[in-house]
């Protein structure tokens, strides 16, 4: 039974990363209509920025949680201003190819300098150790990742669904020309939204660093699953991405316990089933 | 057919100060040349209507003034400030509000969010109580999804949301299109009341019978040009011409 709970915890942790990353992808797709294949590379950059901050600047994990998303978010905004903005109105394929190219370049540069093996990033002292819950042993850092990710996801959902700024974002997703004609600087809002989505990826990278180590290909390993999560949840759906992210992490964890051979494919089997039954995803709307 | 100089004549006779001046306005959709040199003026406090057949260039004229059309040349002056090169968000912040033909109600927003969406660009916008006084239906439907409203209610919402912003110059694109006569009448009363409140309105209409109940002056648009213009007092005398222009 302990093994089942352990797998459930692993599932929840993976689900946290899936949720944070797919949430960023959903925000970017909803607003920019771009399938951001660079998301995995930006997640990796978040982890590396945390690593640099610690090893070059002596800046600890807690500051990295704040600074890495800002730094990578600014990098993302520069990408949007210099490259992605020119894709407005073009087929999705162009955005996918461009961001895929950016991902390859970023990963290639990091791989060139740091190789493929992982760099260690220590768990902060405050989150070391674990708790015996009676039915299982819970490493505190892993519990922190799940709770913090959930809080960030819900805060992002609240921002987009329940605030005036979120109303601007949702409206601009539907009709950016009209929203701009109301006096709102839509291009600037798009840039900031891309920065927000990228910042979420970088945040996931920082959270992941002490668990998975810091590796140039850490994002490439994850991004395909995250895209499957986004497709299952519904492209552009905020709550769909959060729920699906956590749910698929748990399903993956349970599969590891009950039928380990299928644990790497269960997400894709589910994706195929959802696409067959509801092509817009579980919570997506028809275009 | 009269030339544009004739079309400008009634504007000079109007009483309010000149608020909008459009000169040699040309506009393109991609390779298609839509406007071929539009000239007209709107004075403060007036309701001016652009009449014309489908595809004449009326909506493109409004969109060009609003800065929504990518390629446009000529001169558009609002309160003596040149806005031909300004982006649409800057134009909106100068006090011009646009209500599009398709109404532009956002499906992902409820009525309250749709109503509060356009930011207040300057003082002098109508408070919500006054807006609900104009459109009581909206108050009852505040929590409904914007696109679940009837066509008439959507039109009311589309007009209501720009009244909050403080914009003094409203551009309404075919506000009566597809609406029942009783709703058209209500829209007419609203426009008349807005005029009394001091708003300046540039209206695009195909329904000149409706327009005649609210407009001070008319311009006729054909093939991307203003081909005629007259005041409401001259409407009866121009009826035959108007029928020919509009093909009715």
**Euclidean distance between CA atoms B215 and B208, whole angstroms:** 9
Instruction: Kindly indicate the confidence band of residue A236, based on its pLDDT and cuts at 50, 70 and 90.
Output: confident
Q: A147 vs A284, which has greater pLDDT?
A: A147
Instruction: Kindly indicate the confidence band of residue B4, based on its pLDDT and cuts at 50, 70 and 90.
Output: very low
Nearest to B118 among A170, A182, A186 (CB): A182
- Percentage of residues of chain B with pLDDT beyond 70: 93
Q: Would an 8 Å CB–CB cutoff place A183 in contact with chain B?
A: yes
Nearest to A167 among B97, B98, B117 (CB): B117
User: H/E element holding B98?
Assistant: strand B96-99
Q: Is residue B174 part of a domain?
A: yes
- Percentage of residues of chain A with pLDDT beyond 70: 99
Residues of B in contact with A181 (CB under 8 A): 66-68, 88-89, 91-92, 98
CB pairs under 8 A between A and B: 55
Q: Is residue A113 part of a domain?
A: no
Q: Is residue A253 part of a domain?
A: yes
Core vs surface per residue B89-125: b (16+ CB within 10 A) or e: bebbbbbbbbbbbebbbbebbbbbbbbebbbebeeeb
Instruction: Using the predicted structure, report yes or no on whether residue A267 has a pLDDT greater than 80.
Output: yes
User: How many H helices and E strands in chain A?
Assistant: 11, 2
Look at A167 and B88 and tell me if their CB atoms are within 8 Å.
Answer: no
Instruction: Indicate the number of domains in chain A.
Output: 1
ipTM: 0.88
**Euclidean distance between CA atoms B145 and A33, whole angstroms:** 23
Which residue range(s) make up the domain with B21? 4-103+167-246
Listing DSSP states for A86-143 in one string gives: GGTTS-HHHHHHHHHHHHHHHHHHHHHHH-SSPBP-PPPGGG-SEEE-SSSEEEHHHH
Query: What pLDDT is stored for residue A2 in this prediction?
Result: 78
Look at A183 and B108 and tell me if their CB atoms are within 8 Å.
Answer: no
Q: Would an 8 Å CB–CB cutoff place A170 in contact with chain B?
A: yes
B217-222/B96-99 β-pairing:
unpaired
Instruction: Using the predicted structure, report yes or no on whether residue B3 has a pLDDT greater than 60.
Output: no
Residues of B in contact with A179 (CB under 8 A): 117
Instruction: Kindly indicate the confidence band of residue B98, based on its pLDDT and cuts at 50, 70 and 90.
Output: very high
Q: If interface means Cβ-Cβ distance under 8 Å, which residues of chain B face chain A?
A: 66-68, 87-89, 91-93, 97-98, 100, 104, 106-109, 113, 116-119, 121, 162, 165
Residue among B123, B62, B69, B48 at smallest CA distance from B93:
B123
Instruction: Kindly indicate the confidence band of residue A285, based on its pLDDT and cuts at 50, 70 and 90.
Output: low
Q: Is residue A107 part of a domain?
A: no
Instruction: Indicate the number of domains in chain B.
Output: 1
Which residue range(s) make up the domain with A80? 2-89+143-277
- Percentage of residues of chain B with pLDDT beyond 90: 66
Candidates A183, A186, A287: best to mutate against B (most CBs of B within 10 A) is: A183
Look at B88 and A170 and tell me if their CB atoms are within 8 Å.
Answer: no
Q: Is residue B22 part of a domain?
A: yes
Q: What is the separation of C-alpha B107 from the centre of its chain, rounded to a whole number of angstroms? A: 23
Look at A167 and B118 and tell me if their CB atoms are within 8 Å.
Answer: no
Q: Is residue A97 part of a domain?
A: no
How many C-beta neighbours within 10 Å does residue A88 have? 13
The vertex-A192 CA angle with A188 and A193, nearest 5°, equals 115
A152-156, A258-262, B5-9, B231-235: the lowest-pLDDT one: B5-9
Q: Would an 8 Å CB–CB cutoff place A273 in contact with chain B?
A: no
- pLDDT (tens digit per residue) in A197-217: 999 999 999 999 999 999 999
Q: How many CA atoms lie within 13 A of B100 on its CB side?
A: 17
How many angstroms away from the CA of A185 is the closest CA of chain B? Answer: 6
DSSP B164: T
- pLDDT (tens digit per residue) in B208-230: 888 999 999 999 999 999 999 99
Q: Is residue B196 part of a domain?
A: yes
Look at A181 and B67 and tell me if their CB atoms are within 8 Å.
Answer: yes
Query: What pLDDT is stored for residue A57 in this prediction?
Result: 94
Q: Is residue A284 part of a domain?
A: no
Q: Is residue A76 part of a domain?
A: yes
């Amino acid at each position: 039974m302990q093994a089942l709970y352990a797998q459930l915890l692993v599932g929840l942790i993976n689900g946290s990363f899936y949720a944070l990353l797919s949430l960023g992808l959903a925000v970017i797709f909803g607003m920019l209509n771009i399938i951001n294949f660079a998301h995995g590379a930006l997640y990796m950059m978040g982890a590396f920025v945390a690593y640099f901050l610690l090893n070059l600047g002596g800046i600890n994990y807690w500051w990295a949680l704040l600074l890495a998303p800002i730094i990578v978010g600014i990098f993302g905004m520069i990408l949007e201003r210099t490259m992605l903005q020119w894709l407005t109105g073009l087929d999705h394929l162009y955005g996918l190819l461009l961001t895929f190219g950016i991902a390859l370049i970023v990963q290639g540069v990091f791989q060139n300098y740091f190789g493929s093996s992982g760099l260690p990033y220590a768990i902060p002292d405050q989150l070391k150790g674990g708790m015996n819950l009676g039915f299982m042993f819970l490493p505190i850092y892993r519990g922190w990742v799940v709770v913090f990710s959930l809080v960030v996801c819900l805060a992002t959902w609240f921002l987009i669904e329940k605030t005036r700024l979120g109303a601007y974002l949702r409206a601009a997703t539907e009709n950016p020309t009209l929203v701009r004609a109301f006096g709102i600087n839509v291009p600037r809002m798009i840039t900031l939204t891309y920065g927000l989505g990228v910042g979420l990826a970088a945040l996931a990278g920082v959270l992941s660093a002490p668990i998975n180590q810091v590796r140039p290909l850490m994002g490439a390993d994850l991004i395909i699953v995250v895209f499957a999560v986004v497709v299952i949840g519904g492209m552009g759906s905020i709550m769909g991405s959060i729920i699906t992210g956590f749910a698929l992490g748990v399903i993956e964890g349970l599969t590891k316990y009950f039928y380990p051979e299928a644990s790497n494919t269960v997400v894709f089997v589910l994706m195929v089933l959802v696409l067959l039954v509801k092509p817009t995803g579980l919570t997506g709307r028809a275009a | 057919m009269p030339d544009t100089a004739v079309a400008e004549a009634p504007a000079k006779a109007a009483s309010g100060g000149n608020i909008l001046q459009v000169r040699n306005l040309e506009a393109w959709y991609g390779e298609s040349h839509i406007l071929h040199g539009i000239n007209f003026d709107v004075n403060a406090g007036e309701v001016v209507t652009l009449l014309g057949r489908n595809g004449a260039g009326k909506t493109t004229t409004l969109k060009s003034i609003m800065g929504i059309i990518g390629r446009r040349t000529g001169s558009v002056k609002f309160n003596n400030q040149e806005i031909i090169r300004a982006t649409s968000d800057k134009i909106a912040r100068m006090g011009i509000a646009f209500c599009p033909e398709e109404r532009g109600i956002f499906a992902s927003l409820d009525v309250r969010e749709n109503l509060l969406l356009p930011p207040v660009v300057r003082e002098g916008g109508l408070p919500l109580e006054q807006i609900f006084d104009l459109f009581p239906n909206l108050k009852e439907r505040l929590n409904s999804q914007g696109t679940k409203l009837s066509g008439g209610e959507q039109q009311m919402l589309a007009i209501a949301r720009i009244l909050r912003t403080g914009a003094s110059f409203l551009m309404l694109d075919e506000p009566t299109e597809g609406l029942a006569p009783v709703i058209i009448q209500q829209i007419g009363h609203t426009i008349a009341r807005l005029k009394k409140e001091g708003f300046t309105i540039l209206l695009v209409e195909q329904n000149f019978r409706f327009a005649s109940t609210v407009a001070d002056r008319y311009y006729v648009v054909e093939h991307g040009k203003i081909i005629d213009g007259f005041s409401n007092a001259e409407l009866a005398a121009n009826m035959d011409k108007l029928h020919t222009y509009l093909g009715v």
